[in-house]
Amino acid sequence: QVQLQESGPGLVKPSGTLSLTCAVSGGSISNNNWWTWVRQPPGRGLEWIGEIYHSGSTNYNPSLKSRVTISVDKSKIQFSLKLSSVTAADTAVYYCARVRYYYDSSGYYIPYFDYWGQGTLVTVSS
């Protein structure tokens, strides 16, 4: 069974850079999967941040694109998130997840997030 575990500082100063890592166990990071980051501000809904393929290809949420970098380290079986120039609005629980695809009868590949990490709270404060 695939397991994901986020790690990183729980407190980041305003204007600093948030850095998190997601360790993958129970499976290969190089299988035909994308890996993604989602965040959730306290008491609020879910926001997709971006995703990465094992080859290093990425897609980002345009609202965050100028500040986000997602990378993968296949040797360490992990992928990482960096978010620069953070403000209090970036305070959230950050989740990593695996993206899977369902091939439906119409010929579409439909993405969904099947395995999630437990999440880690990052607070932006001085």
Partner 1 sequence: DIQMTQSPFSLSASVGDRVTITCRASQSINSFLNWYQQKPGKAPKLLIYAASSLQTGVPSRFSGSGSGTDFTLTISSLRLEDFATYYCQQTYSTPGTFGQGTKVEIK
Site of interaction with partner 1 (CB under 8 A): 38, 45-48, 59, 61-63, 95, 100, 102, 104, 106, 108, 110-114, 116-119
By beta-carbon proximity to partner 1, the closer residue of 16 and 119 is 119
Least spacing, CB of residue 95 vs partner 1, in Å: 6
Least spacing, CB of residue 93 vs partner 1, in Å: 9
C-alpha distances in Å from residue 105, one per residue of 1, 99, 101, 102: 27, 20, 13, 10
Determine the Cα angle at 27 with ends 75 and 25, to 5°.
70
Cα gap 96→94, rounded to integer Å: 7
Least spacing, CB of residue 37 vs partner 1, in Å: 12
By beta-carbon proximity to partner 1, the closer residue of 87 and 103 is 103
Cα gap 52→33, rounded to integer Å: 9
Tokens 């407190």 -> residue: 11
By beta-carbon proximity to partner 1, the closer residue of 45 and 126 is 45
By beta-carbon proximity to partner 1, the closer residue of 75 and 106 is 106
Least spacing, CB of residue 75 vs partner 1, in Å: 26
Structure tokens belonging to residue 82: 């960096």
